[in-house]
C-alpha cells in the first residue's frame, strides 16, 4: 500500500476536514517574483530543455499545413458556389 507524506498508509489514520487544513482551498499560493535578469535565465534554461523539431519535421509539418489550407479553400469555394446558386434561384423566383 502506498504511503502518504506523513508516513502512514493512505486511507488509514486521522482524517482531515477542509476546516482543519491550514490553507484555504480557493486561494493558490503566491508565486515568487523574480527580476528581469533571473526571468531571462529561466527562459533560457527552459529553452534548453525543450525538444526542438528537426528540419525535416518542420518541412513535413509545413507541407501538411499548406495541403490542409488548400483543401479548406476548395471546400469553402464549393460551399460558396452552392449558396450563391441557391440564393440566385430564390431571388429569380421573386422577380
For 18, residues 6+ apart whose C-beta sits below 8 A from its C-beta are 25
Question: For the chain, what are the domain ranges?
Answer: 65-95
Helix (H, G, I), strand (E, B) or coil at 8: coil
Q: What is the pLDDT of residues 3-59, one digit of tens each?
A: 555 555 555 555 555 555 565 567 777 778 889 999 999 999 999 999 999 999 999
Q: How many CA atoms lie within 13 A of 93 on its CB side?
A: 6
pLDDT value of residue 17:
57
User: Per the structure block, which three cell numbers stand in for 52?
Assistant: 526542438
Question: Over the stretch 69-88, which tens digit does the pLDDT of each residue have?
Answer: 999 999 999 999 999 999 99
Q: What angle do CA 29, 10, 21 make, to 5 degrees?
A: 35
Residue 94 confidence (pLDDT): 83
Q: Rounded CA gap, 56 and 72, in Å?
A: 24
Amino acid at each position: 500500500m502506498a504511503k502518504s507524506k506523513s508516513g502512514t498508509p493512505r486511507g488509514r489514520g486521522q482524517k482531515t476536514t477542509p476546516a482543519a487544513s491550514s490553507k484555504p482551498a480557493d486561494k493558490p499560493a503566491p508565486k515568487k517574483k523574480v527580476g528581469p535578469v533571473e526571468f531571462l535565465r529561466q527562459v533560457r534554461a527552459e529553452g534548453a530543455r525543450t525538444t526542438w523539431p528537426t528540419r525535416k519535421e518542420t518541412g513535413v509539418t509545413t507541407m501538411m499545413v499548406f495541403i490542409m489550407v488548400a483543401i479548406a479553400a476548395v471546400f469553402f469555394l464549393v460551399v460558396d458556389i452552392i449558396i450563391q446558386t441557391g440564393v440566385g434561384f430564390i431571388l429569380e423566383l421573386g422577380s
